[in-house]
Structure 1
Amino acid sequence: MYFSVADVTVSPVLLILWSIVTGYVFSSVGAAGGILGGIGHISIFGIKNANIVKPMNQILTTVSPVISSPMYIREKRLVIQVSIALAVGGIVGALLGSWLSHSFLSDMGSYKPFFGLVTYIVAARLWYELTPGFRNGQAKVKEATKTFEAKVKELKASGRMSEIKNIGVNFIESGLGNNKFTFAGQTFEYKTVVPFLAGFVVAIISSSMGVGGGFLLVPFISSFMGFPMYIVAGTVALSILITSLASIANYMQLGSTVDYNMLAFELVGIVIGSYLGPKLSKHVKAIYLKGLLAVILTYSGTQYVFGKLIFQLTGFKM
């Protein structure tokens, strides 16, 4: 099927299938949804205009949280206060980042290597998180994860999955300064200014690429702030919904366009994948999904950064 705005011919089935994968990964891990969307738009579907790719990527990352966030909220697997702090800082960063990108990364020749470099960074981070040293170094997170997984197994066996919220996020202290909450029997603390500043900085980078920013926020919240992955995905996704809307609006105001006919098929897949993510992520270990995602991103990053050089040296086209 030919899509005139994007100027590409793509099977609607392929659009839906890749979007299911994108929605599932983003709603499960809280990261790489925009990057996977970008890989699809650039490499699989063949869009050549960078300022079409960027807002279309971000539209996909806004739909997934709309589907997944209510499910995470019901199960109390989302730290709403952190999402709000990230989003407030992110709105300012998103406006700045989208303006910089529209002005200085408007052609695919300059955008693609930059996109590939960041994809490499995300892949490197995922590989690091798969190492025993990283996983063994987070005792509190490991204990909370172990408790949560055991409880899910127990509730599933007894048909009482609706009770999962009983071990979810419960705040002890909340405000503009110090915050404290419990999850799966463990207590976690943070200062509001930390996610606020992270949201601002990450939004500049992510909006300039036309992605959500979960690739930076997820490792920041899981590693630096020390939150378990079972509450990171929902927390990040909700904040990305808000910052992505700000970025998309600015891209459109600056003159970017999107192919709504193509998006219609992609959104079907995103909705399906985003619904499956929270449902299945309770039963699928995050390490397996991270491993597969690391492989995909490593290959894609190599293609965007070194693909032309590899072809010149070997004749092999990635």
Structure 2
Amino acid sequence: MFFHVAGVTVNPIVIVLWMLFVGFVFSTIGAAGGILAGVGHITIFGMKKANVIKPMNQILTLVSPIISTPLYLREKRLVVPAAVVLGLGGIVGALIGSYLSHTYLPDMKSYQPLFGLITFVIAGRMWYELTPGFRDRQQKVKKATKAFEAKVKELKAAGKLNEIKEIGVNFSEMGMSNTFTFGGETFRYNALSPFLAGMFVAIISAALGVGGGFLLVPYLSSMLGFPMFIVAGTSTMSILVSSLTSIGNYLRMGSHLDYAMIGFELIGILIGSYLGPTLSKYIKGIYLKGFLAVVLTYIGIGYVFGAIIQHATGIKII
């Protein structure tokens, strides 16, 4: 089937199957959705229009935030003021990043090596997550998360809604200095920090057409010290805002979306996102993450050095 805007002929079954894989991976390990979507557009589907690829990547990264943000909000596992400030910074960053990328990275020759570089960064994060120390910390986080979710269900069943509010996110101070409690612990942050972080992350994610969660999650957990219970919801809400801004600006500057291709892609993403939580219990996360680390490393090498090698030898790597 020929997709006019994308400028490629691709079997729709291939599109659905690749995006099913993307949705499965993203819903299982919570990372690399935008990168794998970009790999599909560039290598699997053979698209050559960089300023079409970028907003199409970001549209696919919106599926998870749209579904999950209301759920996190309902469970009071979302630091709304921090997400809003991240989003405000994200709006500024998305406008800057999309403008710079649309203007100075208009073709695959300039865009693909930088996309490969960010792929390297994410691959490095994957390798780090395979280390024993990180895995031990994640096991503790998972146990704590399950305990928190079990407590919420218990209180709901008992009709003790007020107690749910007490263990969720509750602010006592808002403004430039912010103070809130979660699970009986107190957390503080200055609003300027998430604004600048949101702007910085959005510049990178908008320029390359990715979601930005791979940068926001470490920032919220390591630099602001938020517990992982509330990091995911806070980051997804800000990604939703910045990605919508970036997509809108690309369209305003003349980029186009291939809606027919997006339709097939969303089918695959939704199926994969459903299968991920269902099948992940049968597949060890460490194996999937290791496989993904190898794939992303190979892709990063191909995208960053492919043009140089092709120019010197005439051999195309990716």
User: TM-score category by the smaller chain?
Assistant: 0.7 to 0.9
Please say which structure displays the higher CA radius of gyration: 2
RMSD: 3.7
- Give the match for residue 211 of structure 1: 210
Q: Give me the whole-angstrom Cα distance separating, in 1, the residues matched to 2:39 and 2:49.
A: 13
The 1:180–1:98 alpha-carbon spacing in structure 2 relative to 1, beyond 3 Å, is: same
In the TM superposition, what is the alpha-carbon distance from 1:292 to its structure 2 partner? 4.4
User: Which one is further off, 118-127 or 228-237?
Assistant: 228-237
Amino acid aligned to 1:7: G
Instruction: Give the C-alpha shift of residue 69 in structure 1.
Output: 1.7
**What is the alpha-carbon distance in structure 2 between the residues aligned to residue 222 and residue 202 of structure 1?**
15
Post-superposition offset of 1:205: 1.2
Change over 3 Å in CA distance of 1:275–1:192 after alignment to 2: farther
Partner of 2:108: 108
* Structure 1 counterpart SS, 2:61: helix
Give, in angstroms, the shift of residue 59 of structure 1.
1.4
1:63 alignment counterpart? 63
Go from structure 1 to structure 2 and tell me whether the alpha carbon gap of 1:279 and 1:40 turns closer, same or farther (over 3 Å shift). Answer: same
Change (3 A) 1:72 1:13: farther
TM-score w.r.t. the length of structure 2 is: 0.82
TM-score, normalised to structure 1's length?
0.82
Give the Cα separation in 2 of the matches to 1:8 and 1:267. 18
Asked if 2 retains the 8 angstrom alpha-carbon contact of 1:152 and 1:282, the reply is no
Indicate conservation of the 8 Å contact 2:167/2:184, yes or no: no
- Aligned partner of 2:253 in structure 1 is 254
Calculate percent identity across the aligned residue pairs.
56
Partner of residue 19, structure 1? 19
Q: Which string of whole-angstrom CA distances, capped at 9 and with x for unpartnered residues, describes residues 274-309 of structure 1?
A: 456678889998766644443332222122112355
Matched length: 313
Q: Distance in 2 between matches of 1:185 and 1:287?
A: 32
Which residues in structure 2 correspond to 1:1-318 (within 5 Å)?
A: 1-26=1-26, 31-134=31-134, 145-150=142-147, 166=164, 169-183=168-182, 186-274=185-273, 290-308=289-307, 317-318=317-318
Q: Decide which moves more: 13-22 or 214-223.
A: 13-22
Q: Contact conserved, 1:67 with 1:271, CA < 8 A, in 2?
A: no
Verify the 8 A CA contact 2:116 2:304 in the aligned structure 1. yes
Residues 219-256 of structure 1 deviation map (CA, whole Å, 9 limit, x = unaligned): 22232223344432332122111111111111111111
Amino acid at match of 1:191: N
Contact 1:91–1:200 (CA under 8 A) maintained in structure 2: yes
- Partners of 1:221 and 1:171 lie apart in 2 by 17
Larger deviation, residues 244-253 vs 301-310: 301-310
| Contact 1:68–1:275, Cα closer than 8 Å, also in 2 | no
Conserved? CA contact 1:30–1:233, under 8 Å: no
Q: Cα–Cα, structure 1 residues 275 and 181, in superposed 2: closer, same or farther, change >3 Å?
A: farther
More off after superposition, 123-132 vs 250-259: 123-132
Deviates more, 1:126-135 or 1:101-110: 126-135
Q: 1:25 to 1:242 in 2, by over 3 A?
A: farther
- In 2: Cα distance, 1:72 partner to 1:79 partner: 10
- How far apart, in 2, do the equivalents of 1:281 and 1:181 lie? 34
What are structure 2's unaligned runs of at least 5 residues? none
Cα distance between partner residues in 2 of 1:112 and 1:244: 20
Q: Please give the secondary structure, in 2, of the residue aligned with 1:70.
A: helix
Letter in 1 for 2:93: G
Structure 1 residues 175 and 26: CA distance shift in structure 2, 3 A: farther
Q: Distance in 1 between matches of 2:281 and 2:235?
A: 17
Secondary structure class of the residue paired with 1:256? coil
Partner Cα separation in structure 2 for residue 65 and residue 186 of structure 1: 26
CA distance in 1, matches of 2:91, 2:99: 13
Q: Aligned equivalents of 2:231 and 2:179: distance in 1?
A: 16
> Which stretch of the first structure deviates more once superposed, 297-306 or 247-256?
297-306
Cα distance in 1 between the residues matched to 2:252 and 2:177: 38
1:66-107, CA deviations, whole angstroms, 9 ceiling, x for partnerless residues?
Answer: 122223333433332222111010101111111111111001
How far 1:110 sits from its partner (Å)? 0.7
Distance 1:285 1:242 in 2: 33
